[in-house]
Every structure is written in structure tokens, then in C-alpha cells.
Structure 1
């Protein structure tokens, strides 16, 4: 059930990821935008802009822990990228950045069909001590889960688990510690600008538990869980909608 929705500022019109902490949320914009982490309050107001010495090829997710932010420069809708990157940013010194280069096992960019391949991702979460990447599987509809080794700056990744049965591609993920399950958001879209947006619960063994629609929303891009157990999700601006930030209860009614 949706509790509230507010418009996001123009600076976050292409919001593509969301990370919750006690007092603030953090978001980034996607391809071609400035390399900035936006800190916002829970009313959707930007309170700080953290500019990084990076290039935003296609930032699609942000997560974090007590010491670091993790930014996923992994957008690959067209399938043309042979490799993607995750940037680990020291929260005490944002000039201290370690970039991890990822190659998908089996990815041959010359053979990929735009919007019809599985070597894409828009969702990442720091879960316990693991950094997990969730695929945006256009071709098969089966979401693949990858484990990223923070100790290796160049690595080839293969899925260790998969999620079947989701009604569209995955664009955001977080872990709900209170309920011990993952919360996922995503959508199914068509060339005419129609979106069928959803939220889902997934178990720690990556079994699909339940799915419910977000009927009045379109291009939802990020989701996170706050300290009280509420779910927050961000929506990128589309032709007829402003970018937005919404709060929802954890389970639909």
C-alpha cells in the first residue's frame, strides 16, 4: 500500500538507484549525467551533492555500508559493453575510490541484440558481507544473481543463483532485515511507453515469495528499506510524469 508520493527535484529527474539510511536517502542519475551522489531527506529535498572524480557511463544502482558507497556503472540495455564497473567509494574520503571491472561469462557484445539479451543489470545490494548484482534479463526473463569479489579489481562473473517467475525486468533491490527477505522492484514495458510496474519479495535462497503491482507508476528505478521497515522507491521522469519518491508499507493490503 502506498503511503505517500512526492515529486523529486529536476536534478534527480533520471534517478536510477536508491539507498536508505536513518536520516537520509542517496540516489544517482543514469547514463551521461554528472558523477554525483545526491543526498536527500525523506521529503525528497536534496541536502548535499557529492561530486566524484569518475565518469558516469551508465550509473544504475547505489548501495552502501558503514564505510563505503558502491555505485554500479553497469547499464547495458543495448548490449554493447564488453565490461562494466562498480566503484567503491570511501565515505570518509570520497577521493579514495576503487573501481572493480566486471566481465560477464559468455558475453559477446558483437552478438547481443539490443533490449533482447541478459548481460544487463540495474540492481545491486550489500547483503551481509556480500556485494550482489541482480541482472536485468531482457531475453529469458530469469533474473540472475552475481556475487562480486571486492578484493579483485578485474574479474569475470557467473551467476550463482536465479529467480524465476518475476513479471518483468528487475531495476532495484534491497534487503529487508526485519523480515529477512529481499525486496525487488521492476517493470515490463513496451515501445509505446506503457509500463506494468511491480514490487516483489524474494527469500534468502532466491525463491519468489510474492508479487504485487504498483499500478499508478511507470519507470521505477530504485528501492530501499528504512530503519522502521518502510519501503521507499524512486521513479524516473517519463514523458507524462515527474520523477518521484514514494513510501510504501512492506506488504500490500
Structure 2
């Protein structure tokens, strides 16, 4: 998302006398230590980093990407932010990639990357897309690497009512359901695409809930499906999930606001993900003028 759209929206949201009072979840659950600056995000490769997800096949590495107008590429970085390689996706277009997830897919036992081509600043697109490909296993001897993946699938999606902007994508590792969280609603909306879904026809999302805060910019779910993060520019929210619950049932319960999440270090923070071993989480922000993007880490207590 461009900073122009963010500033216009936030100015209107902050100043409009007719806006509804939005009460975000305020339960504070101090289960994470204070932030550690893990390292610098590589630039210019990831000037506009918009998504992060921990690799399942490549331990201690993260997949990342830029948002609109950039190349259709994925970048593998380590847990210090150092670039290890690039995956080009020549058959895809980065119209507005806003988030990335990892989860099960059509072939049992395999891990798939899900790229959320879900940004729509002007709310004008007939449909949005999620691109899916097998996660590649990288041999450490190949680093640094540059590869191409040509075998991808496109899951086309439309909203049940109107086009929307979104930056949050979650794939349930338990049942393969896909969740998209809207961005520009005062209380962001939770949409669900139940598995199985078509890769030949346009799928229609189902509205399954709302969250009591605006401007959701990223999210993730733990590998076991028991923990969920959703963030915006100022806060990070955390849910515990009983695996007998659906994701929307878990999100309907009060969130824990991470009390020591430090948004001051992230002027346009859009990325968040669990660590592979689930011992903490990472966040990052796009580059802003002379402020280089950095990778931040919060460990569990």
C-alpha cells in the first residue's frame, strides 16, 4: 500500500466527527519479551516488504515479498534479515501482493506457499487472487541462489458484496480454509473461503466475522493452528485457538494486545509471522524515506 493512501485514510479516520467509536481489544497478555532488532532487511530488493512467513522446509529462514508494482519474486532471508536467494515466478504478475502464507495443499504431506494478490487500494477489481506453489527446499550449498518456479496455481476470489482492499492472508493448517481480513473498514471484516475451492472458476468469499480495530496489515497462524496473529500499523493482536474451533470462532473471542509491541520502530509495518519453531515472532516495515527497513523479533517468555 502506498503511504499516500494510508495518510489520506488515516487523516480522515482520525478527524471525521461522524466516525464510529472503535474500541480495539485491550486485554494485555505479556507472553513475549521486548523487541530485538534482528537485522536489516536487504535493499533495494525488499524496499517495500509486505509479507513474511517462516519456511517449513528451510529451517531458520523466512520467505518475503514486495507489494504492488514490483517484480513477481519471492526472497529468502535468514532470521537476521540477510538475503539468501531469489525465486522468480515468471508466469505471475505482482498486481498488489500484500501477504504470504504457508500451509497444506492439494497433495497431502507437502507444504505450499500462498501469495495474496489481494491489495485493491481503490476497490475496483472484479476479483482478487491467491497464487499457490510448492515450497522449494533449498540446499545450503546453493546459497546464494536464483531460481525460477513456473508451476503455479491461481485461486480467483470475489467478495460477496463489493470489492475491497486487504493485506492479511491466513491459511488454516488444519483444514486448508483460507481467510482474508479486510483493511479499510472501521471494524475489519473476516472473510472465509472454505476448502475445497476451485482453481478454474471464481470463488466467492463468505463473511464470517468482524474485528474491533481498523487497518489490518498482516497476519499469520502457527503451524499447529493453535495461535493467531493479526497486526495493524499500531498494534499486534494475538489469539489462542482450541483446535476444535474454527479460525473465525477463535477470532470472535477477545484478543490479547501485545503490550510491548513497539510500533515506533515500524512507520509502515505490514508484515508479521511466527518463528518456525513457534518460539517467537518477526515483524517488519516498508522503507520510509531515509529509514531503512529492519527485521524485528519478539521471543516468547
What range describes the TM-score normalised by the shorter chain of this pair?
0.7 to 0.9
1:56 is aligned to: 94
- The residue correspondences of 1:117-196 to structure 2 (distance < 5 A) are 119-128=164-173, 129-149=175-195, 151-153=197-199, 154-163=202-211, 165-166=212-213, 168-176=214-222, 180-187=226-233
2:131 matches 1:84: no
Q: Distance in 1 between matches of 2:82 and 2:196?
A: 32
TM-score using structure 1 length: 0.83
Say which one has the larger Rg.
2
For the aligned residues, what is the CA RMSD?
2.2
Is the partner of 1:12 in helix, strand or coil? coil
> Does the CA contact (< 8 Å) of 2:185 and 2:215 recur in 1?
no
Larger strand percent: 1
Is the partner of 2:68 in helix, strand or coil? coil
Aligned length: 230
2:56 matches 1:15: no
2:284 is aligned to: 234
Q: Distance in 2 between matches of 1:171 and 1:88?
A: 20
Shift of 1:34: 0.4
Q: Distance in 1 between matches of 2:223 and 2:65?
A: 23
> Does the CA contact (< 8 Å) of 2:38 and 2:80 recur in 1?
no
Distance 1:131 1:48, change over 3 A: farther
> Does the CA contact (< 8 Å) of 1:172 and 1:186 recur in 2?
yes
Distance 1:59 1:222, change over 3 A: same
Q: Which runs of 5+ in 2 are unaligned?
A: 1-33, 104-109, 137-147, 242-249
If asked which structure has higher relative contact order (CA below 8 Å, sep 6+), I would say 2
Is the partner of 1:169 in helix, strand or coil? coil
Q: Distance in 1 between matches of 2:82 and 2:98?
A: 21
TM-score using structure 2 length: 0.70
1:201 is aligned to: 238
> Does the CA contact (< 8 Å) of 1:146 and 1:161 recur in 2?
no
> Does the CA contact (< 8 Å) of 1:147 and 1:159 recur in 2?
no
2:27 is aligned to: none
Is the partner of 2:100 in helix, strand or coil? strand
Shift of 1:25: 0.2
Q: Distance in 1 between matches of 2:84 and 2:177?
A: 27
1:244 is aligned to: 294
Q: Which runs of 5+ in 1 are unaligned?
A: 110-118, 188-196
Q: Distance in 1 between matches of 2:189 and 2:227?
A: 16
Shift of 1:78: 1.5
